[in-house]
Structure 1
């Protein structure tokens, strides 16, 4: 009997700020019972409306550095105004072993580190429809200064140049279409040969031998 491997899929999602990856990921997990978003640790201050242990685990710099020393992160980085971001490893492995797909929303540097440690992870890059639309989205958020927006916009060019390192790309122009594409990717990845395991009742060689003997007896 052949069945799908019950291990969950680690899904790494990257893309420039303002591409809509957070909205897309939230809509994916709200429509799937088998998928969650990994909650990252960060030393930055919460934005308006963000909740601790829901959007991020907001911790002190000292606690973050202690976690680094203890090897608790699958990846971590210092980004945007010297804020620390890190992905806790324990919760990822726990959920994957229970058959839960885990989405990591991280930047390209973090994705590179994950690829070194998790060879079977799936890497998806979310693209904005155009750089002009990306600029408009960043401005409309009204969460950063002009200097921070310029910094993020420059980084967006660098990130987009890394798209060839990913398995899939989704141009996020229509959110419903993007949801459909991402669900299709998850479905296809579940069917990959290296995610399928052959499970036979009893000893495989013994069963094959019995079947062959049965054929021979019927022929005689």
Structure 2
């Protein structure tokens, strides 16, 4: 009988580098699946449909939420909605694959309440100033949106103590290796929940 996979949740404020760490983990860890989130936001130039996100209308998202299709979902920074499809996650876990979610703090705390044995990993920026520099460097938000994200980040940083692991992203190679070690340690039976 095949064992059920484990759910890993990578979370933290916008601009902390979750996406980059997720990409590194998927390249370096065999049998790790990524669940592509649904969103109502408009695609950015670098976004690929079905790879980075599934882009849906507000009405479609509402219908999906009402049908209970999401494991977690939230409106982020007062704007677009994001959600993880329950069926995608369950299919991978049932196939014996570990699943990595890259989601915001609201969604991560929802997952924790629904899947208590999920492994919660919070990504910290080296400093608030560095986080602001990273967000500004993306050139994807207006000044007002940027301020909102930074205010949200301050609140989200206070949630780090609710996570199983805290990972500082001050050096990509070191943070990537830290994430890899966390995931592999659960596979090797070194860490328990």
What TM-score do you get using the length of structure 1 for normalisation? 0.83
Deviations 1:79-120 (A, max 9, x none): 134211111000101101112111111112111111111111
Alpha-carbon shift at residue 129 of structure 1 (Å):
0.6
Counterpart of 1:40?
Answer: 37
Alpha-carbon shift at residue 33 of structure 1 (Å):
2.2
Q: Output the CA distance in 2 between the equivalents of 1:104 and 1:85.
A: 12
Q: Does 1:125 align with 2:126?
A: no
Q: Output the CA distance in 1 between the equivalents of 2:4 and 2:136.
A: 41
Counterpart of 1:66?
Answer: 63
Q: Does 1:172 align with 2:172?
A: no
Q: Output the CA distance in 1 between the equivalents of 2:54 and 2:191.
A: 36
Cα RMSD after superposing both structures:
1.5
Alpha-carbon shift at residue 193 of structure 1 (Å):
7.5
Note closer, same or farther for the CA distance 1:193–1:162 as it changes in structure 2 (3 Å cut). closer
Alpha-carbon shift at residue 22 of structure 1 (Å):
0.5
Partner of residue 96 from structure 2, selected from 94, 99, 114: 99
- Unpaired segments of 5 or more residues in structure 2? none
Counterpart of 2:151?
Answer: 154
Q: Secondary structure at the match of 1:182?
A: helix
Q: Output the CA distance in 1 between the equivalents of 2:184 and 2:100.
A: 14
Counterpart of 1:184?
Answer: 181
Alpha-carbon shift at residue 150 of structure 1 (Å):
0.6
Q: Secondary structure at the match of 1:33?
A: coil
Q: Output the CA distance in 1 between the equivalents of 2:44 and 2:62.
A: 22
If you compute each CA radius of gyration, which structure gives the higher value, 1 or 2? 1
Counterpart of 1:109?
Answer: 106
Q: Output the CA distance in 2 between the equivalents of 1:192 and 1:119.
A: 19
- Of the structure 1 ranges 182-191 and 116-125, higher mean CA displacement relative to structure 2 is found in 182-191
Note closer, same or farther for the CA distance 1:193–1:51 as it changes in structure 2 (3 Å cut). closer
- Unpaired segments of 5 or more residues in structure 1? 196-220
Q: Output the CA distance in 2 between the equivalents of 1:107 and 1:43.
A: 15
Q: Secondary structure at the match of 2:22?
A: helix
Alpha-carbon shift at residue 68 of structure 1 (Å):
0.9
Note closer, same or farther for the CA distance 1:174–1:71 as it changes in structure 2 (3 Å cut). same
Counterpart of 1:206?
Answer: none
User: How many positions carry a matched residue from both structures?
Assistant: 191
